[in-house]
Amino acid sequence: MQAVIVNFFKQRLQPPGIKYKYNYSIEQYRGLCAILVLLTHAVGDPKLLVNNFSWPLFMQYMGAGYLSVMVFFCMSGYVIGITSSTGFSIKSYLKKRALRLYPIYIISIIICIVVAGKVSLPVLLGNLLFLQNGLSYYHFKIPVLVNYATWSLNYEVLYYLLFIPLMIYKPRLWKVLLAMFIMSVVSIPITEPFYFMGGYLNGFYFWLLGLILSWNLISKQPDAPKNIVPFISILFLHLSLNHLGIGQIVLHTLGIYTHSNLNWIFDLPFCLMVMSTLTGTDNRLLRYNKLITYALPAGVFIYLIITNRIFEDTRWVMCLIYWLLSLLFYFETRISMFIMNRFTGIGKISYGLYILHVPMALLIKKYIVIHNQLAEVTLKYLLWLILTFSLAYWLEIHFQPAVRRYFTKNEKDTRLLQNPAA
């Protein structure tokens, strides 16, 4: 066991040089995460579509925005890893990333401009260059242009850029993790102008986890059975952990109050479990990790029950219900597979849904006025879902691929000239 762990950390970060097949499970869970983000904003932000209205309190725990974004980071690192080979070209890599991000993002920016009415040039350019930041860079701040969901793209683009030196220098894993750990410890007591550093580091742990899984750095047992995804069980655990915030609870229990968010330490085991399950990676350590992930909330609930606090907050009650449901459905697979297959199509348009859902909601709110509240809530939310899904589908399935084909046409023609048999 010790030798396995030592060998894991001594490995270099480099692609294994193997081809991968399309992973439906990854696409399906990506679709689920997109829906959980939409629910977070649709229910948790009462002014998104309608003023002077709010959903029942328990419904505000139906989404899971933060943890879903962390899973997105994992999946991003995984996809970048499986699509990058040893013949790495920085120019080609950056072009592919730009063609994936920009076509739909520019459409969302146009909608945001319509919603805002007036936009300053620095804010527009800053958002076009993915420099928008919720936390200032040492007193330098570029506000998010209307679409507050795009804060994560600022992180995503940074991780894309950090991938370049990893591909070029192929450092050993322990060196990268040691450097990140030292920076994480240093970032705990930092003052406000440097808060952004901790956020970038926290997200990069998840992105790097996806990359590690894609490059087969985690050893697999040759005779290990393929993991069956208990989709419903994982969904309920996802919801429970998102709202529980174990890291902050632990710190507050110890009397430690810091702006640095340490929830990521307790969210990493969940993301490792999800990604290893979706990719069919299995070994004894990963099974221990799954056990720990399901058991982590139990400590919090036992503490809340002993101190008679479990019913003092709807948050605790909803988290407990979700956790119990995750245990109840752990061995259920038939319904899970049926539901999971329904998310394949949503996964294919998940980026569009993520980028468009906020500006589309605000656009509807700005231009459609209905004086009856019941009719307003019903019609606006229905119209929002129809327009957001329809536009995301058209942009993801037709528009973005057409843009990609247009900008890569010359590359294909060049390859054909060099190799007519291709």
Looking at residue 248, its amino acid is Q
Query: What's the pLDDT at 213?
Result: 92
Contacts of 245 (CB under 8 A, 6+ apart): 263
Q: Which H or E run contains 204?
A: helix 195-214
> What does the angle CA 36 – CA 145 – CA 39 come to, to the nearest 5 degrees?
15
Strand spans (E) along 125-244: none
Query: In sequence order, which ranges of 307-372 are alpha helices (DSSP H)?
Result: 314-328, 334-342, 344-348, 350-367
DSSP at 134: S
Q: What is the CB-side half-sphere exposure of residue 138 using CA atoms within 13 A? A: 1
Query: Strand, helix or coil at 137?
Result: strand
Report CA torsion sign: 152, 404, 164, 68: positive
- pLDDT tens-digit readout, 183-235: 877 776 666 666 777 788 889 999 999 999 998 887 766 555 555 678 999 99
- pLDDT tens-digit readout, 375-413: 999 999 999 999 999 999 999 999 999 999 999 886 654
> What does the angle CA 411 – CA 412 – CA 416 come to, to the nearest 5 degrees?
120
Percentage of the chain exceeding pLDDT 70:
90
Which residue in this structure is represented by tokens 């920085």?
90
Q: What does the mean pLDDT of the chain come to?
A: 88
- pLDDT tens-digit readout, 67-95: 999 999 999 999 999 988 767 899 999 99
Query: What's the pLDDT at 226?
Result: 57
**Chain mean position to CA 60:** 19
Contacts of 382 (CB under 8 A, 6+ apart): none
Query: What's the pLDDT at 420?
Result: 45
Count of other CB atoms within 10 angstroms of residue 200? 17
Query: What's the pLDDT at 259?
Result: 56
Euclidean distance between CA atoms 260 and 188, whole angstroms: 5
Query: Strand, helix or coil at 261?
Result: coil
Query: What's the pLDDT at 193?
Result: 62
Query: In sequence order, which ranges of 11-150 are alpha helices (DSSP H)?
Result: 24-44, 65-82, 90-116, 121-128
Size of the chain, expressed as the number of residues it contains: 422
Q: Are 295 and 309 in contact (CB under 8 A)?
A: no
- pLDDT tens-digit readout, 158-173: 999 999 999 999 999 9
Query: What's the pLDDT at 396?
Result: 97
pLDDT at 418 over 70: no
Query: Strand, helix or coil at 420?
Result: coil
pLDDT at 14 over 80: yes
> What does the angle CA 349 – CA 353 – CA 359 come to, to the nearest 5 degrees?
150
State phi, psi for 138 to the nearest 5 degrees: 45, 65
pLDDT at 11 over 80: yes
Count of other CB atoms within 10 angstroms of residue 311? 11
